[in-house]
Structure 1
């Protein structure tokens, strides 16, 4: 972040409607509104959304300033209050010293050597899922959005909780889907009734949360009572000890982290996989190259050795380019504790900074022909290596970089390579798929393909 002696100014205000400000424009078409703002403003723009003052920044260097260089001046924005109702006070929603302690405790569970031990589980679960998919009537179209939700649910359940939970997935999956749907609905609603009011949605979310809590607290109690030491993520979190105090996580903290990992760990990966398949149906040349690499590296083994996936360089490029076009975390928000300056402009105390990976990933100054799907952008020695480090951030950045980013990338490579090795696929005719920006960037409808 450069220093400046220029006078401090108010950021340019984007005109909106009386009383509503820019709220209705964002409710009608958030992505279109964001792209219009990017075209019309150079560095920062002041918006009024939902009765709050918010400042959207466009440049990678300013994004880095907020997320990394001056991150201690920023906390979770009011938007996270909605997520906290459903997820609790986990890594995604907590702040300050509590968040730093939780991050220290959880970090060892996501070290590379720990993730390598979980890769075998990912490969085995993917192989079982592909066998089940192959037994379906392939004359009918397949809802790959739901299919990937199913397999990522199985993978995160096995890696987080171990094999003894698979038979209980149906009820848990439905409860988590309900919580996710209701959180999206509450996030987008201009009118939010207090969570204590007995509205139909509040009652439904409480029932779903009770079901999730019963499942997870039951597992935690079982592990504690039987002193079970397992090498899954829950086992690692149970044994994690604060280096400074020697304390371990309480049952409440374990529950909140498990729900956060469970929710984020399957939904975002499944959505990313569905988007990737959608892109591949439009680019058969990329699919052919991907299949050739998968067959060459993995061979015909039903369950390839986990180490083999490290050689899938083009597969990783395809994943990275898909995440560029459709980043699950499409927008980020932070609340300023004190005044901050972006160049000669001020973000006042208590107001919100908006950071938008969706826009950063489509900035033509950094990504020529940004709407084009081109995995070679991420080839070794390719254009990506010469860009600002914050021109591409599908997992956020700074100290709050997603703790599960390597877990997700590994899972995406395994799923994609094994799927394209097993199947050819084509899109259904007349299926119009466009992004629907909810908490994550979902397709507007389930993506269906014909498998062969």
Structure 2
């Protein structure tokens, strides 16, 4: 029997837009407590169906994924990401995914992981040699090291002034895109509003740098063990065609953004959680010391050593449960459908929130508690697969998920091998749901070098 989804009351004209803009996480969690399965809200004049159960999320993202394309919200991201893997759709996305997939094969990740170890170890050594008498801005420090890593793994170049400019420009685009996403008024992009002027200037700077990298690599013909090389020489198995420059640009910008900001934010949350839970930090340091030794070391650990740190990975996984960087995602119904008994009309949007799934006490007892043993072997017995979605799910599972997990595991292991960490104060840090789930202020920690 078909049932009309319950509608959450809102204001005339604006619906639930103001409540969501004011406190997205609070509003979504209120809806999760109030409605069992599906609820319809109105944001920006569009009907949005929030789903809360893992089996319904699995239906949208996997079982009937062909009926759920990118929602209108992705148009905002497309303005600077273009037709990259995150924002493209349909047959074009499937073609791009096939082209890019070999770059993220396990063997390729192992090659790139060696670079991650080198850059992470050099960064940790610089931290040890610096002034540790005062607090360290871990949010900024982790932005710096993930910048180093993405520059080397994507472009085989060091992070310099030009690439700092790229990082700043992408940050500007990210902030302005978030403003546009939440604004009830969408000004045409060619109108010279202050935000549009800043946006277009940042976009031009990004394009100039990325196209410059592509042109230089094509001109010299030199080969590198990096992601740009893998994308540049990826060929369609049927036609033998390679990506045009515009597509290379879009994929590079997408990878740079995901590999830099998203990883840094996830690592900052992880360090905050460890500093808040000394017993878990001690257990983590014991595992790392058993495999990698303690304190500074002149020789770099082999990549394989990091794969033998199960508790380290559990810490990363639990941190991403509590603070998933992609805290919400949306899909537009391409045809009329049903989620369970509830009708989903063509053209309306379905909203999935990993943050809500990860904090649902049905599948995560005491969901706000930091407990890496939730990911110990066998602990997931009986837990629905789609109760945990830090990288999305279905065919659109993030292509770089193993890359990101490897990077975080390496960074985390080398950090806790070298330092004890403490909070500076007891003031809570709260999640700020922008395009990614950021801390509402920088995370400052006290680092003490371990002998």
Normalized against structure 1, the TM-score is what? 0.96
- Match in the other structure for 1:447: 443
Q: Could you say what secondary structure the match of 1:163 adopts?
A: coil
Deviations 1:396-440 (A, max 9, x none): 000000000000000010000100111111112143310000000
Q: How does 1:286-365 map to 2 (within 5 A)?
A: 286-300=280-294, 301-302=297-298, 303-365=300-362
- Match in the other structure for 2:384: 388
Q: How does 1:3-402 map to 2 (within 5 A)?
A: 7-163=1-157, 166=160, 168-300=162-294, 301-302=297-298, 303-382=300-379, 384-402=380-398
Deviates more, 1:223-232 or 1:70-79: 223-232
Q: Could you say what secondary structure the match of 2:307 adopts?
A: helix
- Does residue 436 of the first structure (1) align with residue 445 of the second (2)? no
Distance 1:167 1:211 in 2: 13
- Give the conservation status (yes or no) of the 8 Å contact 1:157–1:166: no
- Match in the other structure for 2:409: 413
- Give the conservation status (yes or no) of the 8 Å contact 1:54–1:354: yes
Deviations 1:322-348 (A, max 9, x none): 000000000110000001101111110
Distance 1:431 1:10 in 2: 44
User: Gapped runs of 5+ residues in structure 2?
Assistant: none
Distance 2:138 2:248 in 1: 32
Distance 1:353 1:327 in 2: 19
Q: Could you say what secondary structure the match of 2:385 adopts?
A: coil
Normalized against structure 2, the TM-score is what? 0.97
Deviates more, 1:157-166 or 1:98-107: 157-166
Q: Could you say what secondary structure the match of 1:386 adopts?
A: coil
- Give the conservation status (yes or no) of the 8 Å contact 2:262–2:436: yes
- Give the conservation status (yes or no) of the 8 Å contact 1:390–1:397: yes
Q: Could you say what secondary structure the match of 1:451 adopts?
A: strand
- Give the conservation status (yes or no) of the 8 Å contact 2:49–2:350: yes
- Give the conservation status (yes or no) of the 8 Å contact 1:281–1:425: yes
**1:87 Cα deviation from its structure 2 partner:** 1.0
**1:176 Cα deviation from its structure 2 partner:** 1.7
Q: Could you say what secondary structure the match of 1:341 adopts?
A: strand
Q: Could you say what secondary structure the match of 2:177 adopts?
A: helix
- Give the conservation status (yes or no) of the 8 Å contact 1:158–1:166: no
Distance 1:225 1:163 in 2: 16
**1:386 Cα deviation from its structure 2 partner:** 2.6
Distance 2:55 2:92 in 1: 28
Deviations 1:53-104 (A, max 9, x none): 0000010010000000000001100110000011111001111111111100
Deviates more, 1:180-189 or 1:339-348: 180-189
**1:164 Cα deviation from its structure 2 partner:** 5.9
- Give the conservation status (yes or no) of the 8 Å contact 2:100–2:231: yes
- Give the conservation status (yes or no) of the 8 Å contact 1:57–1:63: yes
Q: Could you say what secondary structure the match of 1:54 adopts?
A: strand
Distance 2:159 2:92 in 1: 30
Distance 1:402 1:187 in 2: 22
Q: Could you say what secondary structure the match of 1:229 adopts?
A: coil
**1:163 Cα deviation from its structure 2 partner:** 2.8
**1:192 Cα deviation from its structure 2 partner:** 2.3
User: Gapped runs of 5+ residues in structure 1?
Assistant: 1-6
- Match in the other structure for 1:3: none
Superposed CA RMSD? 1.2
Q: Could you say what secondary structure the match of 1:48 adopts?
A: strand
- Does residue 426 of the first structure (1) align with residue 422 of the second (2)? yes
